[in-house]
Amino acid sequence: MMKEQLMKMLEQRKDEMIQIRRHLHEYPELSFEEEKTAQYIADFYAGKDVDVQRNVGNGYGIIVTIKGGKPGKTIGLRADFDALPIHEETDVPFKSKIDGVMHACGHDAHTAYLLVLADCLIQLKDELPGTIKVIHQHAEEVPPGGAKSIVESGLLDDVDAVYGVHFFPTNPAGDVGYHSGYSMAGRTYFKLKIQGVGGHGSSPHLAKDAIVAGAHFVTAIQTVVSRRLNPFDMGVITIGSFDGKGQFNVIKDSVELEGDVRYMTSEVQELIDKEVHRITKGIEAEFGVKCELEYVPDYPPLYNDPEITAEVVAVLQSSTEPEIKSVMEFPMFSGSEDFAYYAAKYPSCFFYIGSKPKGVEKAYFNHHPKWDVDEDALLVAAKAVAEVVCKG
């Protein structure tokens, strides 16, 4: 059977997955700058009997189409390949050779497992039902991201479903997590410039104090979550920057604030949007200042199709592969992920692969300079996605 052959091939190529992951880890590239990584991926497919489309979307995206020899559905398998502007602090022999850039979110591992899985599927394509579209996606970390532009290219409009995985160090290798419905938060970036009238600290009545107005905005905006949202809905508003430094006896004429908003549904997104704009107008009226608000939604909430997710859970729970030790429901996660753009248009399931390094009580979480993975998780990911492919 094709499935048995595929699993055997993956086992035999585990070391290759690890070698690829380590190479990518040594040479990370930031979002929209992944030229050499994209070339490495394209070179991997050179000479193979597949269709390779490069520079898909708004960057270095690649779609590899594997046409099976038997009738079946068309599915997409996605892995991202960009890195982060983080200086690596791990003590591994394959640590980043690019100063200030690091694979601190597992995208190197995502790419490594999918490259080998795709190659195995190419070798077995005569027995493969349907068509596989392998989506090597650039720029997941920086909005507008790569996913949105790949979706807008129309090259995936024939897919029946799209699948993706993410490595998480909360669980050991062998654990596979899932969540049906809304699973990861959407995100909006905002910047507010408050223009007042500067003055002397001894004469506040002659000025319009931008710092006081900004402080009021910081306090007022927190009431959106505490007093406007249903207590059973998820919403977070963070002020990450308040640029108001000046002279101690000078009333500042302008300040800039930056922050982000997180939400789990489009309804909450719309409510918070409305309230932030309302409060901004109120600040203008109350303090006599002028406000310039830049309010830009980044990624939508990630919605896992319940029917597709149930199918994935069923096939993984029935798996006899020893590497897949446990399949469990994960809670909703307030982080954002641009896989949400695939899920917004196509039936999709984005699930999680435990990757907690062996011998540690509590692993460093994603985006930490000491992030690392248990490389056994690469074979777990490859086999879990292979199970999904083989279910048809």
Single-letter amino acid code for the residue at 148:
K
Could you give the residue range(s) of every CATH 3.30.70.360 domain in the chain? 186-297
Fold of domain 2-184+301-390:
Aminopeptidase (3.40.630)
CB 134 within 8 A of CB 48: no
Annotated catalytic residue 108? no
Helical packing angle, 266-287 and 210-223, nearest 10°? 150
Residue 53 tokens read as 């489309």
Query: Residue 288: how many CB atoms within 10 A of its CB?
Result: 12
CB 141 within 8 A of CB 325: no
Residue 289 tokens read as 């200042």
- Identify which of 386, 388, 373, 383 has the alpha carbon closest to the alpha carbon of residue 167: 373
Q: In what order do the strands lie in the sheet with 290-297?
A: 235-243, 254-263, 186-195, 290-297
State the residue for tokens 């039902």: 129
CB 141 within 8 A of CB 82: yes
Q: Whole-angstrom Cα distance, residue 286 to residue 220?
A: 12
Which of 88, 140, 253, 374 is flagged as catalytic? 140
Q: In the beta sheet, which residues pair with residue 101?
A: none
Q: Please list the pLDDT of the chain residue by residue as tens digits (392 residues).
A: 899 999 999 999 999 999 999 999 999 999 999 999 999 999 999 999 999 999 999 999 999 999 999 999 999 999 999 999 999 999 999 999 999 999 999 999 999 999 999 999 999 999 999 999 999 999 999 999 999 999 999 999 999 999 999 999 999 999 999 999 999 999 999 999 999 999 999 999 999 999 999 999 999 999 999 999 999 999 999 999 999 999 999 999 999 999 999 999 999 999 999 999 999 999 999 999 999 999 999 999 999 999 999 999 999 999 999 999 999 999 999 999 999 999 999 999 999 999 999 999 999 999 999 999 999 999 999 999 999 999 86
**For residue 258, what are the contacts with CB-CB under 8 A and spacing of at least 6?**
189, 190, 191, 192, 239, 240, 241
Could you give the residue range(s) of every CATH 3.40.630.10 domain in the chain? 2-184+301-390
Q: What is the CATH number of domain 186-297?
A: 3.30.70.360
Annotated catalytic residue 82? yes
**300: DSSP letter:** P
Which of 29, 82, 374, 375 is flagged as catalytic? 82
Q: Whole-angstrom Cα distance, residue 113 to residue 206?
A: 65
